[in-house]
Amino acid sequence: MGQTTKELHQQRVQLWDASMANHLRYIGKDSGFFEAKWVEHRNCPVCKQNNYSNIFKKSGGEYVKCLECSMIYANPVFTDNALIDYYKNNHTSQSELVESDNSFYINLYNIGLDSIDKHTKGKNILDIGCSSGVFLDTAKKRGLNTNGIELNKKEFELTKQKGHKAYNELLENISFDEKFSAITMWDVFEHIKDGKAYLSNLKKLLTNDGIIFLQIPSSDSLAAKILQEKCNMFDGLEHVNLYGVETIKLLAQNCGLKVLSLSTVISEIGVINNYLSYENPYFGSTTNKSFIPNLIDEKTIHEKLMGYKLQVILGKEQ
């Protein structure tokens, strides 16, 4: 018998619990929503239209679907100052999880690095939201010059101690003395409210043949579409923009970037099988993580770009 989905997610429950505990101080006791002083309403972050339908509420927040471009996003969203306060004082469970579940993440990192290698031969890499530097450790072993940005003070210090060049500042406050052949964001870009402005800033930091790599949760994933509000992708606060295949392409086009590569990782078949068996999706008893009976297998999920996370490589329009 293989490791069950329940056993896999028991290793990650501390991350969810820590996030939810941090959310509570922003939620009104009577309303169950984030207090008005922390949030603001916004238009669609991709097409900028203000035409949406409400999908569901989750953990103090609310998700909507743009009726123009189908983007899924949190609305209202935390103000810039509230987000900075939240992340500066956030837990370190993510870095602890990555450090303890090393092989799972290193496998994903190497898949991403293999894709990066196909599109740039430069050696300077910048990882934004680098946490404790496990991805940078992996990149350094492959001969890359490693740089990282991390707002959490403890995780920033851990990254520096490992020998990586690290910054404990917002991207816009840093003056770099070099260009980068690759800028990576692992499970970070969905936290950025204005993706267009952010990608436009990243473009300026790239070498002529430099690329931007994103790993992001996909609103087109089969797991997200089936589970909806029960899916951990939707946390109410941190994951403010949930891109799908077409919306990330549209955003790239709006930024003068082209999609060089687009693939998915992590099928979440075990989670789906639990849910379809009327069990808790993350703590059910299935050991079947390879196929959904009479429906689809893991290979087909990724061929159809319905995996849980998108890995996207963007390059400059020449």
At 105, which CATH number? 3.40.50.150
How would you classify the pairing of strands 206-217 and 180-186? parallel
Residue 138 has pLDDT above 80, yes or no: yes
What is the rounded average pLDDT of the residues 97-109?
73
23: tokens are: 């959310």
Which residues fall within 8 angstroms of residue 31, CB to CB, at 6 or more apart?
none
CB 41 within 8 A of CB 50: no
CB 212 within 8 A of CB 188: no
171-211 residue pLDDT tens: 999 999 999 999 999 999 999 999 999 999 999 999 999 99
- What pTM was computed for the model? 0.91
Number of domains into which the chain is organized: 1
pLDDT of residue 99: 53
DSSP-assigned letter for residue 205:
T
* Amino acid at position 80, single letter: D
pLDDT band (50, 70, 90) for residue 93:
very low
User: Is the pLDDT higher at 150 or at 16?
Assistant: 150
Burial 199-223 (b: 16+ CB within 10 A, else e): beebbebbeeebbbbbbbbbbbbbb
Sign of the CA dihedral running 272, 278, 279, 281: positive
CA distance 106 to 171: 25
Domain that holds residue 97: 5-316
